[in-house]
Amino acid sequence: TLNLEDIPVAIKTVEQAIADKAYETGHIRPYPPERKTGKRVAVIGSGPAGMSAAQQLGRAGHDVHVYERESRPGGLMRYGIPDFKIEKHYIDRRIE
């Protein structure tokens, strides 16, 4: 993919710009459940799979607690991927 000056454009850059704009304009926001189920669920690990599971369980109305052995949540995204691939403030924003 080339831009107007025939310089290659990375898809990652385009997707990241769209996501950043969506956060700024309020299109990406939490969706709390309509009603709570009263059930409690523990998710072990705050990597991509754990955070996705917690999000879906929370949307279903369950009270979710995420446990992580490291000092900060994020799992592989935080500790296994270098900053030049994904900046850590994006992970913090997603966790919030």
Query: What is the mean predicted confidence (pLDDT) over 30-44?
Result: 93
Query: What is the mean predicted confidence (pLDDT) over 81-94?
Result: 85
What local confidence, expressed as pLDDT, does residue 6 receive?
84
Domain boundaries, the chain: 1-30, 35-95
Residue 16 to residue 50: CA distance in whole angstroms: 22
Q: What does pTM read for this prediction?
A: 0.70
Mean pLDDT of the chain: 88
**Chain-centre distance of CA 5, in angstroms?**
33
